[in-house]
Amino acid sequence: MKKDLLRKLPSIDGLIHAEEAKQLVEEYNRDLVIDAARIVLEELRLKILKNETTPFEEKNLSLENIIRRIETLLQKKFSPSLRKAINAAGVILHTGLGRAVLSKEAQDAINNVIESYCTLATDIETGRRGHRDIHLDKIFCELTGAEAATVVNNNAAATVLILNTLAKGKEVIISRGQLVEIGGSFRMPEVMETSGAILKEVGTTNKTHLKDYVAAIGENTGAIMRVHHSNYRILGFAEEPSIEELAGLAKEHSLPLIDDLGSGALVDLKEFGLETEPTVQNSIRAGVDVACFSGDKLIGGPQAGVIVGKASTIEKIKKNPLARAFRIGKMTIAAMEATLRFFLEPEKLSQKHPIYKMFSLSLEVLRRRSRKVVKKLQPLFADVADISLEQGSSQVGSGSVPLETIPTRLLRIKPKAFSAESLANKLRSWNPPIFTRVHRDGVLFDFRTIQPEEDKIVLEALLKLLKEK
């Protein structure tokens, strides 16, 4: 039986010259179609040979099916792997889906600098070579109160660069409760080791006193460091010195104080109904020598690691050879500058900034949008799925405000004849892919993270996929 099936496989030459393959050859060229045909035929050959229990269906060997497989393979080869997605999962800063949604202004700024040449590192007045930091230094200083700033490609790079500059070969004192894992299995002790600094942990997981820092200061102390444990909270019997207390101690012993803020809040989140995060401005006022934070979390810009602080400290950091290895490019600078301008008018963030707009969406708006989808689906698919609205919670995400959730309204679809996982998988295969949550045998859609213009795409996908089932 297997031999008979193998004999039915067409030859490469037969496939290439088939009438059905002509369009593929014209679109992709002959060599690419031949390579794809070899892959498809080999896959079919292996399936025939390995199929021990279930009879191999001969329709899989039809010329039409094989040509379709070749076409699918070529389309996948020439389709971008990184592409737009719809976030219906309810995590606003979703690391897996690219974190912050960039504003139209940021998108326009990127387009503006990639359409032709740009003034990345050239002084317009003199025509001479300049430094790319000039585009962001002034606005970061204005927003944070810092004397100077520089930006690298992410906050892990910022931390490594700071430690390598200020404390290479020396001890850095840090509370044991702040030895966090910052994502992707990168842990603070390992980051410190990579930088060349020596970890000197003090206190306990839940309690560290100022006297613990005092006792740890010695001849080989290079810096004191605070790391904001933004992706978890220690509750109950817990205590740490304030940033003001650490700043006073560092000044007393002529040591630099490093503050890794993580999420990088530039405004008080209480105004958006969220738990307060330490602001960059507060750290600068407290007297830290240098603070670092992410650009794509609570700032809502592109991926970046921002370093702000005293001018003398920032100047040392800029001169470190690693600064060039970690530097950002023109697209990041353009998007970051456009994003930061929103914070010059913080009272308008909820109207203009995509992330803060999502924070501020009312339950009534979310109910109205999701209800429109329900009204379209229920009359058509009541027999194949339970379609309803229910209360739920959105998350900020990316380690920011870990204990906080935002009340939301969810569209819930519970299929009757197939699994919720099957529907979720089909949605991820949609173009663009739609990412949801699966809970209690239902697929959940959170309209807080679905952009308003994407509502119709979600509806079209559900109309098609529920009809197929």
Q: Which domains does the chain have, with CATH numbers?
A: 2-78 (no CATH), 86-93+359-468 (3.90.1150.180), 104-352 (3.40.640.10)
Contact (Cβ atoms closer than 8 angstroms) between residue 320 and residue 161 = yes
- Position 231 scores a pLDDT of 61
Closest C-alpha among 384, 396, 464, 373 to residue 420: 384
pTM, 2 dp = 0.89
- Position 55 scores a pLDDT of 61
- Position 3 scores a pLDDT of 85
- Position 171 scores a pLDDT of 97
Kindly state the tokens that stand for 330. 């023109």
Task: Report the interhelical angle of 363-381 vs 455-468 (nearest 10°).
Answer: 20
- Position 464 scores a pLDDT of 95
Measured CA to CA, the distance from residue 4 to residue 176 in angstroms comes to 69
Contact (Cβ atoms closer than 8 angstroms) between residue 366 and residue 409 = yes
Contact (Cβ atoms closer than 8 angstroms) between residue 274 and residue 241 = no
Kindly state the tokens that stand for 335. 């998007």
Q: Are strands 198-202 and 148-152 parallel, antiparallel or unpaired?
A: unpaired
Q: Are strands 198-202 and 171-175 parallel, antiparallel or unpaired?
A: parallel
Cis check: omega of the bond before 432, within 30 degrees of 0: yes
Measured CA to CA, the distance from residue 407 to residue 110 in angstroms comes to 34
- Per DSSP, 343 falls in state G
Residue type, 34: I
Contact (Cβ atoms closer than 8 angstroms) between residue 384 and residue 415 = yes
Across 23-59, b (16+ Cβ under 10 Å) vs e yields ebbeebeeebbebbbeebbeebeeebeeeeeeebeee
- Per DSSP, 270 falls in state G
Query: For the chain, what is the largest distance between any 2 Cα atoms, rounded to a whole number of angstroms?
Result: 87
Mean pLDDT, 10 residues at a time, over the chain (469 residues)? Answer: 84 88 91 94 89 66 89 91 95 95 97 96 90 95 98 95 97 91 74 93 92 96 91 71 96 97 93 90 98 96 98 98 96 98 96 96 96 96 95 89 86 94 96 95 97 97 89
Residue owning tokens 């790391």: 227
Contact (Cβ atoms closer than 8 angstroms) between residue 449 and residue 466 = no
- Position 400 scores a pLDDT of 75
Kindly state the tokens that stand for 206. 């839940």
Contact (Cβ atoms closer than 8 angstroms) between residue 401 and residue 277 = yes
Spell out the residues 6+ positions from residue 265 whose beta carbon is closer than 8 angstroms to its own. 277, 278, 279, 280, 298
Contact (Cβ atoms closer than 8 angstroms) between residue 205 and residue 175 = no
Measured CA to CA, the distance from residue 339 to residue 354 in angstroms comes to 10
Residue type, 144: T
Closest C-alpha among 360, 386, 322, 388 to residue 153: 322
Q: Are strands 221-227 and 171-175 parallel, antiparallel or unpaired?
A: parallel
Kindly state the tokens that stand for 198. 């020596």
- Position 56 scores a pLDDT of 62
Closest C-alpha among 396, 462, 384 to residue 424: 462
- Position 236 scores a pLDDT of 65
Closest C-alpha among 274, 233, 256 to residue 396: 274
Torsion sign (Cα): 362, 366, 369, 372? negative
Measured CA to CA, the distance from residue 366 to residue 372 in angstroms comes to 10
Burial zone of 425 (CB within 10 Å; 0-12 exposed, 13-18 middle, 19+ buried): exposed
Alpha carbon separation from 267 to 274, 278, 282, 419, 468 (Å, rounded): 11, 9, 10, 43, 47
Contact (Cβ atoms closer than 8 angstroms) between residue 90 and residue 406 = no
